Amino acid sequence: MDKKEKLNYISARKDATIKEVMENIEKAGSKIAFVTDENKKLIGVVSDGDMRRALLAGKNLDIRVENIMTKNPIMAREGAPATELLDKMLEKSIQEIPLVDKNGVLVSFVTLSELKSIPLSSPDITHKEVEIISQVLSTPYLSIGPRVKEFEKKMAEYVGVKYAVAVNSGTSGLHLCVRSLDIKDGDEVITTPFSFIASANCMLFERAKPVFVDIDENTLCIDVNKIEEKITKKTKAILPVHIFGHPCEMDKIMEIAQKHNLAVIEDACESLGSEYKNKKTGSFGNAAVFAFYPNKQITTGEGGIVITNDEKTAKLCQSMRNQGRDEGDSWLSHSRLGYNYRMTEVSAALGVTQMERIKEILGKREAVAQAYNKKLADIGGIKIPFVEKNVKMSWFVYVVRLDERFSRKDRDKITQKLKEMGISARDYFPPIHLEPFYVEMFGYKTGDFPVTEKVSESTIALPFYNNLTEKEIDYIANSLRQIIQSLDNT
């Protein structure tokens, strides 16, 4: 139905009964009615919750809504600026606001989703980034230039390693690590099924097999106590993923790797700035990869970087990202099989400026995470993210989990309701082993990795980015609380 028709359904005379109003708002797909007097002036609002509570208190369906409505409702004048409407709605955590004319007559309404949808992520770009990109565009170097080297130097120094090789994505970086460590057809690499799919696909590119180990239910990282039982004569490496920015237990992983003579590739794509026992992620293994997609801690638009202390690995990655050219090769000379995995000068320049702001950026993300922790802590049925005591968390995303009384269907209902309220939300992550082509290739089935599957069915990623405001966080938290309570009452 169009907006005018919907307004007819959600406008209620003050003498209308609970039964009449409940039927009308259900037809309109709404949860609130605007109550008017005989002159159509707005005098109150009544929600489906108000009506349910009245019935539970012993009122009958024939009670007039004026007896249970909220008087002096929040409203706005017709023609009010969108910013004013948005501020009111976020401040009061409401999804609809009635609009009245100069005489107080109800003429329309606005929903939050019409004004704004709070995205799942948003990059933090300032005038500094714009200026440096403009500078690059005024030079002859759009590829293979000085900004890439500058970005590589900044990243290596920040993580505390000798070498950094910038590439066009985290996935490309992981692929280069696999190739540089001579992982090939028939080899096995131990990793986690709870991750973005690239951390497993990078082995398949070289016909190696990802061997999954279930996760720790608290940290959501690979369960180090289950790694050794999966090691075989074919095992070549371990690829731990610092999931959502929470570091894995790297001392135990490195101990296992050294014991069995295995390489370690850190998937640090989500963990720039995280530390495990005062040492930065990315600095433990033979090589590591960070990624800079727009939802990451810093962004280069698209991009990634290989980090290593091994000169041979660095040189191989430098060659393979550039079509297999070695240093000194001519443009049409190729010493080995390679790829076009180069990062552009524009992307690198963006990365340089973002790294100059890294302390500010991580501080903003920490503040948003702590605001969420505070505002969500008292919502029954929600588990806020766990952070181990001996780590420093660099927040990639903010993912809550529902407790055991909620099903996967409940989770999906909650995310859908949040979207209807103008709040982006989604599950994070689906299990890799249950992706269709992994089931087809390897025969995986539900139940193979029970912790991963249990966690995956309960996760909700909420909007998370540097400049998420306190009003927006309040609105998200209050909306989530409202949805959870409504499910509890059904």
- The reported pTM is 0.86
What architecture is domain 127-356?
3-Layer(aba) Sandwich (3.40)
**pLDDT value of residue 115:** 83
Spatial separation of the C-alpha atoms in residues 485 and 79, rounded to whole Å: 34
Distances (CA, A) of 131 to 135, 346, 350, 476: 6, 11, 10, 34
How is 377-390 classified by DSSP, letter by letter? TTSTTEEPPP--TT
**How is domain 3-115 classified at the CATH fold level?**
CBS-domain (3.10.580)
- The residue assigned the tokens 């702001």 is 357
Strands (E), 202-276: 209-212, 235-239, 263-267, 275-276
Full pLDDT tens readout for the chain, 490 residues: 888 899 999 999 999 999 999 999 999 989 899 999 999 999 999 999 899 999 999 999 999 999 999 999 999 999 998 888 988 888 888 889 999 999 999 999 998 888 878 999 999 999 999 999 999 999 999 999 999 999 999 999 999 999 999 999 999 999 999 999 999 999 999 999 999 999 999 999 999 999 999 999 999 999 999 999 999 999 999 999 999 999 999 999 999 999 999 999 999 999 999 999 999 999 999 999 999 999 999 999 999 999 999 999 999 999 999 999 999 899 999 999 999 999 999 999 999 999 999 999 999 999 999 999 999 999 999 999 999 999 999 999 999 999 999 999 999 999 999 998 889 999 999 999 999 999 999 999 999 999 999 999 999 999 999 999 999 999 999 999 989 988 877 6
Q: Which helix (H) or strand (E) holds 308?
A: strand 304-308
**pLDDT value of residue 490:** 66
Domain ranges of the chain: 3-115, 127-356, 358-488
Reported CATH class of domain 358-488: alpha beta
Q: Token pair for residue 319?
A: 């060659």
Quick one: CA dihedral 415, 419, 422, 425, positive or negative? positive
**pLDDT value of residue 480:** 96
Residue 309, class by beta-carbon neighbours within 10 Å (0-12 exposed, 13-18 middle, 19+ buried)? Answer: middle
How many alpha carbons lie under 13 Å from residue 22 in its C-beta half-sphere? 16
**pLDDT value of residue 345:** 97
Spatial separation of the C-alpha atoms in residues 325 and 347, rounded to whole Å: 22
**pLDDT value of residue 112:** 84
